[in-house]
Amino acid sequence: MITQNDYLDAVRRELRDLDPRHREAVLADLREHFADAAEQGRSTEEISRALGTPREISERAYEEFGRSGSTAERLRTVLTVAAIVVAVITAVFVAFLLPSYTVADGTGDESTETLAAYLGFTAALVTLVPALVAAVPLVVPLRARGVTSLTVAIVLTFMAVVGGFTIGGFAVPIAMLAWAAVVVPRGARRGGFGVVAHIVGAVLVVSPFAVLARGILTGTVGLSAWGIMVVVVITALAVLIGFGVRAAGWLLLVIGAAMMIATLIFPSMLAVALWALGGVYVTIGGSHALAPARPHGSAAE
Amino acid sequence: MATTAEGIATGIRKGVLEFCVLALLEERERYGLELATELIDRELIASEGSLYPLLARMRDNDLVTTRSQPAGSGRPRRYYALTRAGREQLAAFADVWKRLGPQVDALVEGTS
């Protein structure tokens, strides 16, 4: 025997590619329809039969609105492409620009060479593997993209951890973006991100300062006026993100991208840290700027 | 030729359903079940459920608006009403139909 909840769940599943706002509107009307019809003495069975199949309702809905499941999938595409772009830049940087091999020439002098110069061009191509992995979700059939994204995020995280022992945290931004390509579409399907997600994002943005704070307290790190300003600006952006202000996401994205570009232009001792931190800001800022939000204070149904 | 007749009816219904909903709401505000029952009785929809995606889209286009009013049992009930844009849309349709309807009638008259 079909219950009202069975029926509504089936409709919700059929409507998964509809904009969440419209999906909830249709479901709310159907819930009322059930209640009103039941008051007239119709059985659940009769009501569901008269309503038609969930598939009929969803077909009508897609005729009216089009399939915007696409909203979620478009977000996944954007974030996946971002991961690929960052992965390619990382590969070029690590292989051709970063002096990472110390070579002793036998006369007592030492020089540092890049990976490509030391191991050869073909070996340097190996650095492109993360970019290839990151691209996989774009070539699988639509229905397999969700699972593929998750698998890719796990694989890239593994690679970032393993790579961390050799070339440092250069793969961190790629893994971060891959995770965003899993989480953001999921949130979009569920009707947008609420206050909890925004606070988590805000905490992630300021979390790197925890390391800094310890250094300052123990006196090993001193902040210049410039450094203090950066901390203040980032913290302010984190607070705004916590409140769901979209523009703060864009600004953080720009700051993160600037940090990554600066790393490429002026490789320094801090390159890896700056690159990884920039990647964190790009990912959280970009996700926050693009992801649909649920208005704060309204509970999800 | 039942399938042909059904196919023709489906096509025409699709074109006019939106305006029939507007006309029903012009009479008075109605709630979902009321509209669905009325449209089924007039053979304008085949199943009640297909009304709700249409209503959602019409509300999104600002042709109709909703209002919560307590029903008999005290449960708030969602009533649909016309907006100004909805009224204008209905008037525009009425104009078209008044010109087109008689033409179609004149053409098919005596055919059967």
pLDDT tens-digit profile of A118-147? 777 777 788 888 999 999 998 887 778 889
Residues A266 and A157 both lie in one domain: yes
Residues A12 and A133 both lie in one domain: no
Domain boundary among A65, A84, A102: A65
Q: Tell me: pLDDT of A23 over 70.
A: yes
Supply the pLDDT for residue A222. Answer: 66
**Sheet of B30-31: strands edge to edge?**
B30-31, B76-82, B64-70
Domain boundary among A22, A38, A65: A65
- Please check whether residue A50 lies inside any domain of the structure: yes
Residues A196 and A274 both lie in one domain: yes
pLDDT band at A296 (very low <50, low <70, confident <90, very high): low
Closest in A32, A40, A60 to B54, CB measured = A60
- Please check whether residue A283 lies inside any domain of the structure: yes
Supply the pLDDT for residue A298. Answer: 46
- Please check whether residue A298 lies inside any domain of the structure: no
**HSE value, Cβ hemisphere, 13 Å, CA-based, for A240:** 18
Q: Please name the residue that has the structure tokens 């029939």.
A: B20
Residues A160 and A19 both lie in one domain: no
- Please check whether residue A295 lies inside any domain of the structure: no
Residues A113 and A60 both lie in one domain: no
pLDDT tens-digit profile of A207-216? 888 877 777 7
Q: What are B98's two structure tokens?
A: 């008044």
Strand partners, A112: A102
Residues A146 and A48 both lie in one domain: no
The range of the structural domain enclosing residue A75 comes to 71-290
- Please check whether residue A234 lies inside any domain of the structure: yes
- Please check whether residue A299 lies inside any domain of the structure: no
pLDDT band at A84 (very low <50, low <70, confident <90, very high): very high
Residues A9 and A50 both lie in one domain: yes
The predicted complex's ipTM stands at: 0.88
Stretch A61-82: mean pLDDT: 83
pTM metric for this prediction: 0.60
Residues A26 and A128 both lie in one domain: no
List, as own/partner pairs, every contact residues A168-172 make where C-beta atoms lie below 8 angstroms and the sequence separation is at least 24, other chains included: A168/A272, A169/A272, A169/A273, A169/A275, A169/A276, A170/A90, A170/A93, A170/A94, A170/A272, A170/A275, A170/A276, A171/A87, A171/A90, A171/A130, A172/A275, A172/A276, A172/A279, A172/A280
Domain boundary among A15, A39, A65: A65
Residues of A in contact with B31 (CB under 8 A): 32, 36
B47 touches chain A (CB under 8 A): yes
Residues A61 and A75 both lie in one domain: no
Q: What are A20's two structure tokens?
A: 């969440």
> Please, what is the average pLDDT of chain B?
89
Supply the pLDDT for residue B49. Answer: 92
Supply the pLDDT for residue A270. Answer: 73
Residues A35 and A182 both lie in one domain: no
B81 touches chain A (CB under 8 A): no
Q: How far apart are CA A241 and CA A205, in angstroms?
A: 9
- Please check whether residue A296 lies inside any domain of the structure: no
Q: Please list the ranges in chain B whose pLDDT falls under 70.
A: 1-2, 72-73, 111-112
Q: How far apart are CA B77 and CA B67, in angstroms?
A: 8
- Please answer yes or no on whether A57 and B53 come within 8 Å at the CB atom: yes
Per the structure, the count of domains in chain A is 2
> In whole angstroms, what separates CA A50 from the centre of its chain?
42
